[in-house]
Amino acid sequence: MAIPTRTGIANLPLHYGKAPPWLFSRMVKLAREITLAIITDFGPEEMLRRLSHPYWFQAFGCILGFDWHSSGVTTTLCGALKEALKGMERDLDLFVAGGKGKTSRQTPAEIEGWADLTSMNPVPLVYASRMSAKVDSSAVQDGYQLYHHTFLFTGKGSWAVIQQGMNEINRYARRYHWLGEAVTDFVNEPHSAVLSEARGQALNLVASESDPARTTITDIATGEKPENILAELKRLKTLTLPPRHQIVVNDLHPDSLSKIILSTYERQPQDFEQLLGLSGVGAKTIRALSLISELVYGVAPSYRDPARYSFAHGGKDGIPYPVDQKTYDQSIELLSRAINKTRLGLSEKRDALNRLNRVRIKD
């Protein structure tokens, strides 16, 4: 199965609640068997590629019996997968860090914990985790607040990110997919996909057409004196922006931004990625600098919403049909048998090769 490396964004209606225990326990078991089957045949990197593809991820959630269009498929599937791999991570060379809410903030510590046990270098992985979250919360301002961040990686340094944000106004969630091998630049078209059922206008500073704006924003942050930037912001607050703009000046407070703008000027980041990565630089700082870039210097960023629509099938809510628990259990058993046979076959092949090698040595 060929999986495109370019990913995107998906919007899903917000559904509260969680999978019932009888379903979640089965999701864990089936997720384990499917993951074992893919890794056995294709390796852990292929599992990362598939999870980074939004339609495959959605179909995976449907196979496990969750709602086809619910925002909960993201958090529940990632949680089931993390639980499914417990105790098997080192054998499979696939590790899962992060999760929903407070758990997402433990991602760097979890990565470093696995690195200590496996002698891998955690620095680039922690950076990838942090920058993917920074991009989707500050460089892409689409009205969705991140609340879920799952980081998957291998001992060789391959990685994927699945994170989700919510919009309390339109009652939708948006899922962001990343695939490490496809990311050549964290701030230029880095997503493998962004999924959402609702689309609109967004400040998209990681669009390719935003490259001049990224350069201008960095120049403003490093070349303009902080007092000049703050003066421009105060002047802009009196202007009326076109209705197409997603960004709004009313919630910008120049006085509250003065400390971070001064700090940014003093640290002199070399490019937009370094600027975005600075501690304290968040959505409001980037939004303010973007406004100055466009309205003072005439360099506009992209307002193209990166989200694409996603369709799948399945469902615990009885759509298209209720989960058949008996059939679900049979599927787990059948897959488990198939995996065991595959393992047995591989074991027999290794034993045969070892015996052949011993014979050759004797000869």
- pLDDT single digits (tens) 256-299: 788 999 999 999 999 999 999 999 999 989 988 998 898 888 89
Q: Are 54 and 195 in contact (CB under 8 A)?
A: yes
Share of the chain above pLDDT 90, in %: 46
Average the pLDDT over 340-358 and give the result.
54
Q: How many other C-beta atoms lie within 10 A of the C-beta of residue 20?
A: 10
Residue of 353 and 174 predicted with greater confidence: 174
Q: Within its chain, how far is the Cα of 363 from the centroid?
A: 55
Residue located via tokens 């047995």: 344
Q: Are 159 and 28 in contact (CB under 8 A)?
A: no
pLDDT for residue 163 = 95
SS3 175: strand
Residue located via tokens 């893919």: 38
Residue located via tokens 């209720």: 322
Confidence of residue 140 (pLDDT cuts 50, 70, 90): very high
Q: What is the mean pLDDT of the chain?
A: 81
pTM of the full structure: 0.79
pLDDT for residue 234 = 82
Residue of 79 and 311 predicted with greater confidence: 79
Whether pLDDT at 167 is above 60: yes
> Is the preceding omega at residue 320 within 30 degrees of 0, hence cis?
yes
Q: What is the DSSP letter of 308?
A: B
pLDDT for residue 199 = 75
Residue of 325 and 92 predicted with greater confidence: 92
User: What's the CA gap between 131 and 336, in Å, rounded?
Assistant: 38
> Tokens representing 252?
């910008």
pLDDT for residue 275 = 96
User: What's the CA gap between 176 and 12, in Å, rounded?
Assistant: 11
Single out the residue of 215, 212, 234 nearest to residue 223, CA to CA. 215
SS3 151: strand
Q: How many other C-beta atoms lie within 10 A of the C-beta of residue 64?
A: 26
Q: Are 3 and 53 in contact (CB under 8 A)?
A: yes
Beta strands in the chain (DSSP E): 7-13, 95-100, 140-141, 145-153, 159-167, 172-179, 192-195, 203-204
Residue located via tokens 């919009």: 167
